[in-house]
Structure 1
């Protein structure tokens, strides 16, 4: 949402393509809005439905003189238009008198009994079919996708404002949305043409990108991939449709009759197929539902056309409007293949019609279907260079031949307009400001300064801390990258630094060599699964505010060198050699350990550890989506895919004066779950064991949290090093109901709050041999009785903040145990 821009409303009638436009609101005789009423140009199939406030907008490329307004339970009303453009109409519908033969009138809440629309809906369930291509052994088709990003609601005061001085020419490309009626300005377009191959017997599918064309900025692939993920693939027959990481109830789902009203409105031929037209709209406000209509065939009971428009009252942040159209074609009188999919979203800070916002639109067209032409299995598993220069630089004649939908006048103008815009100095300044907010880095030629959000920090060892860093950045497809930082603590008067480099040796297998060195202060007990990221740093050691004394910090000097490779998609193998020295960073915290020789305590005590280590790790993230083809990639769908991690570490004694010989096994499993209309669950399981005798700094402290931030995978009511183990197993569960409970409470419904519950537990143990090494001021204690916590939270406070109320379940007898605490976090989520 960092791309939202504040703009207002204006119509440029001289360049609009539509011939007839009409807008206004529909009311009943008592002045109440009539929601979901039908608005249609007379003697046509072109129409729309009023929103929850009774407002509507309708346009057509044809000339029409009459508009009809209707809704079940009201008399149909026709209005003659005096001109091609008619705005701000006020339509009053009168209730329909019951006829002598007692016709059934549907209005407001619809009955689930004796409703012909629901009888048809049951037929759809009984004859539910998979996507048409799944009916064949193999399939292939052409896929053309157009993504567009538009500024909307523009007025003359904005055009004349100083912010656009020198850029007034961009407003020559404005157009009007036929969905919302708002004026908009296209700011970039991305076109992609692909061939899709699939084999249902092998359960394989492969999409080969043959062409990609960008307008706007050369490096906008991350934004494009982000939009594609927002508008992920969906099947209208599924019970729930996932958009913006939310699960909307489909109007075709078996649970639809509990959340939607259905009305059988009409029947007619659609492309030589007799179809029924059913209108649907929500039974309650604030739920993740749609309003719209669909046409269903009377023999196959397959959907021919469907329109979905998200309810304005849906508990969804930053999105004012969601509109979907799908069209299907008939093959062999029985199988319906999708031919067109249109998805439009109106992003805005506010949901009011006059609010400023940005449209994101995706149009996907499908053509040239072919079936039962097999290909060898190696065709699907074979890898190609993911970045091919010619694919992104196709000539114009390539697009003239393969576009399945011609660009309109305004879309064509965007390419030229943006080429000019990029030469304007003021625009470059605005772009740089937006880039800093989005990435956290300030661009200076081919070097990024940042991250700007980590400049200031505080801890007991360093006091106030200042950190400045940067990285090389030529493009997101860089084969190499250097990164570093320098930091200074005003309490310990010490300079810290870190530097790392990595190089992509082979793009197909993603073979990468990396290395670096860091001298810093670290909270080593902030996580169970260890990281050898040379520039990694935990929030725990740099939080400006903490609970109690955050003095259990370690000075670390870490050097790493390694290789990583991706032998198959989403599967990463990493081999790392590291050397680190560890020493306490404060006088009140000790990591001292006793020196044993041949199993005998020598009486000597050391306060510094020198430890070389070899680590082999495997990371599998099926379903992860990334952007970029360089040494670093941006993950697009963060938090939407499972993660499987397995790591083996070997400590080397005697090599480079290494102090300890040990082995460590660690495993991690993270899984997000969409539970239909009940919200979203995050689950994490971690297990690990260290074999061999090791001191405190090489053990696994159970990760506490002494900050006021809600940190997932930590224990909010534990202090750092309160529990220490060499064997552990932990589970974390966090469920966000998405407002399903709050939306049923009238007094707080409009606040769109979201309820969150959490549970976390850990078992740990520690050997007598490791206890014997202890010479620190930490008393070793493991959660052998399974330590546990629970929490309840309220999210979406002012749309950006979440509060968690955390309760400690046991071990309340521990010194300075915290039975209750409050943590919070800022979240920019839909």
Structure 2
């Protein structure tokens, strides 16, 4: 559509709205207490809203006669007629408690509660009502508010001072609104399961952000109900009208009432067992057609709710047509108390303007699931006041007003010398403690030539190994943005010195990243919004110098862990060599999620030997091993040169995206990710001594199985096509692990030796599989169900030939303190050597989200 036509339409809509009359009022209960989030509907138009937490509502209506209908779960529906002229009108409601009629069958001695028959009928209709429309569009207004009731003095060791509290917008006791957003999103649906969200507008208090824009479709017609994120509900929850709901719930008939000539049955939902993913509360089902009329359901820790303490969901359904009902409004309340952070929040969804026969353009439904309008966060206050269906609470209005004013003042002064100088001064002085432990971060805050500097703390980089002894590392990164070229250039120098062997290694890396830089309304680059990480499309890097590497460049043991086991347990597992190198790397990611790249490497590989046998604790019977993969080669490798070219391509079919005004973000797919690698050792160029061809192909995937948890796997095949000249650095290494701390779960073998099975075979295969039960099974064990610890099982294996193979099986517990995982692993090496050991790592709701490398 021509942008000027679009602007004209928006202007017309604004002018039409400006002539509408505001109808306001408050909804009370019988005692005069305001009813929060009561449902308001204009019968003539079908449009509606809800009251806010104070029971107040607002409607924009043009002149005419209307019937205003008010509903609240547990109260009688009330209709009032009103004539709207050009003057603002006020219309309050006082609702009376619903009176329920108990059918005679309820009180019959020994009779089955009629709730079960009602639920059986609702279950029979479930699939019909789950997606009753071939297609539709609607508009969703979404408001989210989170406020703290208290904050700790420290979080993860970091002190929270008065300046931090002021920055968050809370009082001295840590109380106040910390997140407040509102947005308008167009929802489009087409069978089978095609969904698209177009975010028309969004705002976030105190920032230029887009707000929370995704409607929380909580569909109780699904067997397994998804609530927000899997971080709070990894298994989902069983619907009270799921196909097998009678195996999970007890029901009690509370009575029935009539509304608009339709009988509605109210049923109490009671979980049969605690620590199952089940709701409790009430659900109302219409008589005869057995639809959900409304529901008021809760989740707690005893429902296997994660991260949150409680969640309370209320829905009102209404008829769009006589045969089609949809959710009209939904309110979700939640409480949170973890790590000393005590918070509450609510999320309001209001759905209006249903179109049941939409005409979608060709290819409207594609891989872009969420699309943001180019002006999504640039709407005026007049716009928000005109479209907001729920009045803001006084504290919400104050939060928007205060924080937006501060944000605007910062932006208006953001390019002034005074403001930039104040930001620079706020960075503080560089101290010895910064250099040694905290690190140093600095920025010039220049929006046109944004430059940052980061010094990595020295003490956190100290390592120890038997080659270098105590090794000191120094590393810093300087990064500069070039908005006009849509890029960012960084330089990272490294200096490393080994005090035992006296070797100094120094190398550096230049890196260029494509970036998208936002501009503010004045056309200047907004330095607060630099670095949309997911917009990177091309990454080039050029490195060179002299460094050390592990023989296996996947770094199977981290230098930190190696330092610990060397000093305290007399094991020097990490095997290293020095190399003078030059390396070029290029990675490209296109808009469809296809990723590919090229690497060119030159190395002059230099052997190094152990120079110290110092350890804090010595074991007389245990000696350090040579500094080379002695399990595979009988002596140190000879110095040689290598020129290696590598290429890879990676693709996940069916990739879905969120499309921002200035870039895309990948959000996954139901299909595996496939990766193909090829590596060529080139003999003769720059004195290169290597000559080989190596390939590998892998597939990996995470399968969410709802009530039964999550199954993850990674399979890999590969081999050498040519082995004319292959040195140990270029073998196919299987990532082993010989310490108690677990290595990467889906890319290593927890009890395998680091190099004993390295190979140049023409073919090999490897597989990693693990199943996370996410609370299934352990929720039936008395102690574990209260601790919310989860069971995890799986197996890892590789096969080269009958003399070179490995298999391990494991079972363990994760989600300990939400972070820790402990496994017992049994392994067989080459079919004969058996071993059982314990491995400790990260796993669970939080631990499973943390990724790390051994670099």
Q: Identify which of 20, 24, 31 aligns with 2:33.
A: 20
Asked if 1 retains the 8 angstrom alpha-carbon contact of 2:506 and 2:547, the reply is yes
- Give per-residue Cα distances to partners, 1:43-77, cap 9 Å, x unaligned: 995569xxxxxxxxxxxx9999999999x9xxxxx
Is the Cα contact below 8 Å between 2:369 and 2:658 reproduced in 1? no
Shift of 1:700: 1.0
Partner residue of 1:807? 826
| Greater shift in the superposed pair: 677-686 or 378-387 | 378-387
- Secondary structure of 2:564's match? coil
**Counterpart selection for 1:312 from 301, 306, 328:** 301
**2:284 matches 1:295:** yes
Contact 1:583 1:591 in 2 (8 A): no
CA distance 1:119–1:388, shift in 2 (3 Å): closer
Q: 1:334 and 1:313, CA in 2 relative to 1: closer, same or farther beyond 3 A?
A: same
SS at match of 2:302: coil
1:502 matched residue in structure 2:
512
Deviation, structure 1 residue 686: 1.6
* Aligned mates of 1:406, 1:170 — CA distance in 2: 22
- Corresponding residue for residue 148 of structure 1: 145
Gaps in structure 2 of 5+ consecutive residues: 1-27, 36-54, 56-69, 76-90, 153-159, 411-421, 429-433, 444-450, 518-533, 611-625, 849-855
Question: Which aligned pairs between 1:240-259 and structure 2 lie closer than 5 A?
Answer: 240-242=224-226, 243-245=229-231, 246-247=234-235, 248-259=237-248
Q: Is the 8 A contact 1:521 1:541 kept in 2?
A: no
Matched with 1:214 is 204
2:807 paired residue number: 788
Deviations 1:152-190 (A, max 9, x none): 3589xxxxx97479949956899xxxxxxxx97322223
User: Match of 2:712, SS?
Assistant: strand
RMSD: 5.0
- After TM superposition, the structure 1 = structure 2 runs for residues 727-742 of structure 1, keeping only pairs within 5 Å, are 727-742=763-778
Deviation at 1:448, TM superposition (A): 6.0
- Give the equivalent residue in structure 2 for 1:553: 576
Please point out which of 348, 358, 371 is paired with 2:356: 371
Secondary structure of 1:393's aligned partner: coil
How many residue pairs match? The answer is 678
Range that drifts further, 553-562 or 507-516: 507-516
Q: CA deviation at 1:283?
A: 1.9
Tell me, in whole angstroms, the C-alpha distance in 2 between the residues paired with 1:642 and 1:66: 55
1:406 shift after superposition: 3.6
Corresponding position: 1:334 with 2:334: no
Name the counterpart of 1:390.
375
SS of the residue 2:201 aligns to: strand
> Cα 1:499–1:147, aligned 2, differ >3 Å: closer, same or farther?
farther
Report the Cα distance in structure 1 between the residues aligned to 2:270 and 2:150, rounded to whole angstroms.
Answer: 27
Query: Cα 1:384–1:812, aligned 2, differ >3 Å: closer, same or farther?
Result: closer
TM-score by length of 2: 0.67
Q: Does 2:758 match 1:720? A: no
Q: Secondary structure at the match of 1:377?
A: coil
- Displacement, 1:460? 4.1
* TM-score using structure 1 length: 0.69
How far 1:395 sits from its partner (Å)? 1.9
Partner of 1:753: 789
The partner residue of 2:647 within 615, 619, 624 is 615
Question: 1:551 & 1:829 partners in 2: Cα distance?
Answer: 26
Q: Decide whether aligned partners of structure 1 residues 801 and 591 sit closer, same or farther in structure 2, where only a CA change above 3 A counts.
A: closer
Q: Deviations over 1:746-792 (max 9, x none)?
A: 34543332222221111125xxxxxxxxxxxxxxxxx6564101112
Aligned match of 2:267 in 257, 278, 281?
A: 278
Secondary structure of the residue aligned to 1:725 is coil
Q: String of CA shifts for 1:704-725, please: whole Å, max 9, x gaps.
A: 0134322212111112112112
Residue 618 of structure 2 aligns with which residue? Answer: none
Distance 1:405 1:672, change over 3 A: same
Matches within 5 A, 1:38-57: 45-46=72-73
User: What is the CA deviation profile of residues 524-561 of structure 1, one whole-angstrom value per residue up to 9, with x for unaligned ones?
Assistant: 5375xxxxxxxxx6653442434732132244545123
Report the counterpart of residue 525 of structure 1 in structure 2.
552
Give the Cα–Cα distance (whole angstroms) in 2 for the partners of residues 134 and 101 of structure 1: 33
Could you tell me whether the CA contact under 8 Å between 2:543 and 2:583 is conserved in 1?
A: yes
Change (3 A) 1:451 1:391: farther
State the partner residue of 1:680. 710
**Does residue 730 of structure 2 align to residue 698 of structure 1?**
yes
Residue 280 of structure 1 and its aligned partner are, at CA, apart by 1.0
For 2:654 and 2:589, locate their aligned partners in 1 and report how far apart those are by CA, in whole Å: 16
Give the match for residue 120 of structure 2: 122
> Which residue of the partner structure matches residue 742 of structure 2?
710
Distance in 2, Cα, partners of 1:389 & 1:364: 23
Shift of residue 701 of structure 1?
0.9
Give the match for residue 237 of structure 1. Answer: 221
Q: Is the 8 A contact 2:280 2:297 kept in 1?
A: yes
Q: Secondary structure at the match of 1:142?
A: strand
Contact 2:136/2:190, CA 8 A, preserved across alignment: yes
Please say if residues 106 and 113 of structure 2, whose CA atoms lie closer than 8 Å, have aligned partners that are also in contact. Answer: no
Distance 1:700 1:259 in 2: 50
1:512 alignment partner, one of 530, 538, 550: 538
CA–CA separation in structure 1 for the residues paired with 2:835 and 2:367: 56
Match of 2:589 in 1: 565
Residues in 2 aligned to 1:813 and 1:274: alpha-carbon distance in whole angstroms: 72
Question: How far off is 1:457 after superposition?
Answer: 4.4
> In 2 relative to 1, CA 742–464 (structure 1 residues): closer, same or farther, beyond 3 Å?
farther
Aligned mates of 1:388, 1:65 — CA distance in 2 = 41
Q: 1:282–1:484: structure 2 CA closer, same or farther, 3 Å change rule?
A: farther
